[in-house]
Amino acid sequence: MGLSAFKRALWVFHVATGSCNGCDIEIVAALTPRYDVERFGIRLVGTPRHADVLLVTGPVTRMMAERLKRIYEQTPDPKAVVVVGGCGSTSGVFYESYNVVGPVDRIIPVDVYVPGCPPRPEAIIDGVVKAVAKLEKLGAKV
Amino acid sequence: MKEKRAQDPNDPVLPAVEERELVYGGLEAGLGEVFEVPIGPIHPALKEPIRLTFKVRGERIVGVQVRTGFAHRGIEFMGMRQGRNLIQILYLSERICGICSISHPIAFTQAVERAAGIEVPPRAQYIRVIISELERIHSHLLWAGVAAHELGFDTLLHLTWRVREKVLDILEELTGNRINYAIPIFGGVRRDITPDQYPKVREALRYYRGLLNELLDAFLRDPTVEARTRGVGILEPKEAEELCAVGPTARASGLRKDVRQDRPYLAYPDFEVKAITPEDYGLTPMGDVYDKIVVRLLEVGQSIEIIEKALDNMPDGEITSFPKIPALLAHLKKAEGEGLGWHEAPRGEVIHYVRLVSGEESPLVWKVKAPTYSNLMSWYPMFEDQEVADIPIIAACIDPCICCMDRVYLVRDGKEEILTKEELLRLSWEKTRRMAR
């Protein structure tokens, strides 16, 4: 899909659910000049209530599960959830931890998985673009 | 109606002073009262989940409570539960933190090597030093950008993150990944630095050397940055010593404390690293946020020097004493003993303790001490009597890495009393009365 699919600016909220910071800094790297997604109108916002897309990193610890659910509910529809990183997609190396209740799709519905430990900024951008396709489809239905 | 009520003898009249405070304070209640401002665990300032509850009187912070544990993943437990071998645990140790993703493996491999009596070839030691100093450059530039962002100076954030990409390219060239390098392995390193990579690393170092003065100017000569960071979040040298601050947080307060200087390990004795304090920049250490910027930027220069020296004096030879993994695993399974490994991560000292028992693949005990664990306590004196608007930069100035340290629950009540239920009720009644009048 080309850039014509960007009918509006896409606002993204980033939730860290116990991640190791690797994916989180790659998300910020995607926003800064080398990759610069802000030129497409994709930007990080400070509250889920303004967001179209949730970027979730981390394997979801026991304490964060309830809060992740709450953030998902606070995000207005239509929304898309992108899981960034291996541990959010499959629990990864943390699969046998007593304090990990994830992966993310056990807690909230997920639309796009971006595997990698951590995924490169290009992969994260690709994941967000795939989420756009889903939002477009939802938008057409309404 | 007001006059009529005031005449009622049963209704207490609020003193005139309080009325005045009500107007000038701009708050619903008087200035003298303490409010709680909860921040987190999910908040836009810091990316990682942590909850800070501030007690504020007007704009001034009078106390803070830190609630951690949101990012606790039970990594030490997973390492000790006898399901994984040490190489698998090495990968786990790398995922303690994505920013210090070589500091933890270096400390862990050293601990295991001491416990199992494994020698590391000199070339491997040099490669470990080079990668960890490259990581320091990337981490300090990352922090500088985040600090600029917390001040609301986004141009500087974008500038530092743009120049930071260069060191990530070099790390990718040398190790195969931008983050999580997986370079150390027990007895050596996983990848050699080939002759054609030397010029690329040197070129990047030249780039940063030329840029460093520009960066120092951009941060330290900028009136906005100075106004927002000078005298903010002060950590006195005595407090830093008492609270066992480590890394740049301690060095910014004037303590010459650096694991590379105090207990040299790997190839660090060859480089004679000296701890950097603001004195090296001609400043008297105050321990404020400005000094922390000074120390971190100067350390970028120090890392460049160390890497250049390491590239010049790189010894030849093997890169690992165990080229075959099955032989390494067999040796580790037989090994018995305990070992301590340490490393000066970008944020301070990392310590890993390992106890191996013969016949078991995983360690019996694995204990990790991350730098933020030591530095978190220094938040308390730093936050005292600061403004609410300074919370993000003070929180960021120790370069907190919550994912590294998440295991504790700290509570310290400030000098103020916590509002009890009765007091809250009383406040509520008073407010109702005021509004009814």
> Are B322 and B388 in a shared domain?
no
C-alpha to C-alpha distance for B379 and B393, rounded to whole angstroms: 11
Looking at B344, B375, B406, the residue that finishes a domain is: B375
ipTM value: 0.88
Beta-bridge mates of residue B38: B53
> For residue B351, what is the enclosing H or E element?
strand B348-356
How many domains, in total, are found in chain B?
A: 2
Q: For residue A19, list chain B residues with Cβ-Cβ distance below 8 A.
A: 48, 71, 98, 403
Residue with tokens 């994709």: A42
> Are B182 and B238 in a shared domain?
yes
Cβ-based neighbour number of residue A70 at 10 Å = 11
Structural contact between residues A44 and A31, judged by C-beta atoms closer than 8 angstroms: yes
> Are B106 and B60 in a shared domain?
no
pTM: 0.84
Report how far apart, in Å, the C-alpha atoms of B322 and of each of B107, B120, B315 are.
19, 9, 18
Q: Out of A14, A98, A99, name the one closest to residue B47 (CB).
A: A14
> Are B111 and B43 in a shared domain?
no
Looking at B339, B355, B375, the residue that finishes a domain is: B375
Tell me the Ramachandran region of residue A60: left when phi exceeds 0, alpha when psi lies from -120 to 50, beta otherwise.
left
Structural contact between residues B177 and B91, judged by C-beta atoms closer than 8 angstroms: no
Residue with tokens 């807690």: A107
> Are B178 and B270 in a shared domain?
yes
Query: Which string of b and e fits B29-45 if b means at least 16 CB within 10 Å?
Result: ebbebbeeeebbbbbeb
Cβ-based neighbour number of residue B353 at 10 Å = 19
Domain boundaries, chain A: 11-141
C-alpha to C-alpha distance for B31 and B20, rounded to whole angstroms: 10
Distance of CA A25 to the CA centre of its chain: 13
CB contact under 8 A, A93 and B92: yes
pLDDT tens track for B226-279: 888 888 888 888 888 888 888 898 998 888 888 888 888 888 988 888 888 888
C-alpha to C-alpha distance for B86 and B332, rounded to whole angstroms: 8
> Are B353 and B415 in a shared domain?
no
> Are B319 and B398 in a shared domain?
no
Is B184 an 8 Å CB contact of chain A?
Answer: no
CB contact under 8 A, A61 and B72: yes
Query: For residue B88, what are the domain limits?
Result: 75-375
> Are B162 and B232 in a shared domain?
yes
pLDDT of chain B along its 437 residues, tens only? 344 444 455 544 444 444 434 333 334 444 567 777 787 777 766 677 888 888 888 778 888 888 777 888 888 888 887 788 888 899 888 888 888 889 999 999 999 999 998 999 999 999 999 999 999 999 999 999 888 888 888 888 899 999 999 999 999 999 988 888 888 999 899 889 999 999 999 999 999 999 898 888 888 888 888 888 888 888 888 888 888 888 898 998 888 888 888 888 888 988 888 888 888 888 888 888 889 999 999 999 999 999 999 999 999 888 888 888 899 999 988 889 999 999 999 988 999 999 988 888 888 888 888 888 888 888 888 888 888 778 888 888 787 777 776 653 333 333 333 444 445 455 555 655 665 55
CB contact under 8 A, A93 and B165: no
Looking at B330, B358, B375, the residue that finishes a domain is: B375
For residue B75, give every residue at least 6 positions away whose Cβ sits within 8 Å of its Cβ, in sequence order, or none.
A94, A97, B92, B93, B95, B96, B368
C-alpha to C-alpha distance for B67 and A105, rounded to whole angstroms: 27
**Per-residue DSSP letters for chain A?**
--GGG--S--EEEEEESS--SHHHHHHHHHHSTTT-GGGGT-EE-SSGGG-SEEEEES--BHHHHHHHHHHHHHSPSS-EEEEESHHHHH-GGGTT-TTB---GGGTS--SEEE-SSSPPHHHHHHHHHHHHHHHHHHHHH-
Fold of A11-141: Rossmann fold (3.40.50)
